Amino acid sequence: MIEVGLTHFLVISAALFSFGIYGVVTRKNAVMVLMGVELILNAANINFVAFARYGNFGLNGQIMALFIIILAAAEAAIALAIVLNIYKTFAHVNIDEIDNLKE
Amino acid sequence: MNVYDIIFYLFAAITLASGFLVVTVKNIVHSAFYLLFTLFGIAGIYVLLGADFIAIVQLLVYVGGILILLLFGVMLTNKITDVDIKTGTLHIVPAVIGVGIFWGAITSILTSTHWKSLPAENIEPTTAQIGTLLITDYVLVFELLGILLLIALIGAATIARRDKE
C-alpha cells in the first residue's frame, strides 16, 4: 500500500459524506436525519483539516473546522427543539407523514 | 508501511465501518452509539493530521454534547415501551443508486486529481497559535459565533418550552 497522504483523507471524507446523504435521504425518524447531517458536517471538517495540513494555508483550515463544530452544536440544539415540538403536535417524528408545523 | 499508516488505517476502518452502521441499523439507540465510535474515529484522524486542539474540541463538543443531545432527542420523541426503538426507511433503492453514483464520481475525481500537496511538516502543538488567531484575525467571527450560540440557546429554549396553560 502507498504511503498515507492527502488523498487518503479526502477519500475517507467522501465516503462519510455519502453515508450522511444516504442517512438523510432514507431515514424516516427526524433524529436519524440529524445524525446524517452530523456525518456530513464531519466529512467537511476532515477536508478542512486535511488541507490545512497538506496545503500552504497555515492554521486557517483548522479554525474553519472549529467554527463548523460550533455551528453544528447550534444546529443540533435548534433542530432538536423543533423535533420536540413536532412530537408534541403529532405524537411521532416520522418526517414523511408531517406536512405542516401546526395542527 | 510504518506505524503512522497502520494507525491511520485502523482509525479509517473504525470511522467508515461505524459510519456505515449509523445509517443502516434499524435501532435508533444502536445508531447513536455507532455514531459515538464514528466521532471517536474522526477525532483520531484529526490527531493524525496534527490538529490536536480540534480533536479535543471534537471529543468535548460532539461526543460530550451533541451526541448526548441526540440521545435525549431519541428518548423524548418515542413512546418507550421496550428497549427497541426502530426507525422506518424509505426510498432505499433510488438512494443507493444516487449515493453510489455520487460516491463513485467524487472518489474517482479525488484519486485521479494530482493534488499539489506540500510535504507534511512536523506536527507541533496548535493550541497557542489557534488562540492567537482567534483574538487577532478572526476576532469578529469569534464574537459573532458567540452571539449566534446565545441566540441559538434562547431560541431552542423558547421553541421547546411547554405553553403555559
Pairwise CA distance, residues B131 & B154, whole Å: 27
Q: Give the model confidence (pLDDT) of B121-130 as tens digits.
A: 677 888 898 9
Given a contact cutoff of 8 angstroms between Cβ atoms, the answer to whether B84 and A95 are in contact is no
Which pTM was predicted? 0.89
Cell numbers found for residue B16: 467508515
Residue pLDDT, tens place only, B78-137 = 776 655 667 777 888 898 999 999 999 999 998 898 887 777 667 788 889 899 999 999
Conformational region of residue A42, where left means phi above 0, alpha means psi within -120 to 50, and beta covers everything else = alpha
Residue matched to cell numbers 444516487? B98
A97 CA to chain B: closest CA distance, Å?
12
Domains and CATH numbers, chain A: 6-90 (1.10.287.3510)
CA angle B45, B50, B51 (to 5 degrees): 75
CB contact under 8 Å between A84 and B120, yes or no, is: no
Q: How many pairs of residues across A and B have Cβ atoms under 8 Å apart?
A: 222
CA neighbor of B129 nearest in space, from B54, B19, B43, B49: B54
pLDDT band at B165 (very low <50, low <70, confident <90, very high): low
pLDDT in tens, B70-81: 888 888 887 766
Contacts of B132 in chain A (CB under 8 A): none
By C-alpha distance, the chain B residue nearest A61 is: B51
Would the CB atoms of A14 and B118 count as touching at under 8 Å? no
In the predicted model, what is the mean pLDDT of residues B3-7? Answer: 89
Sign of CA dihedral A37, A43, A49, A51: negative
Q: Which residues contact A20 (CB under 8 A, 6 or more apart)?
A: A36, A37, A38, A39, A40, A42, A43, B23
Name which of A42, A65, A76 is nearest B70 (Cβ-Cβ).
A76
Residue A1 has pLDDT above 60, yes or no: no
Q: Which domains does chain B have, with CATH numbers?
A: 3-83+122-160 (1.20.120.1200)
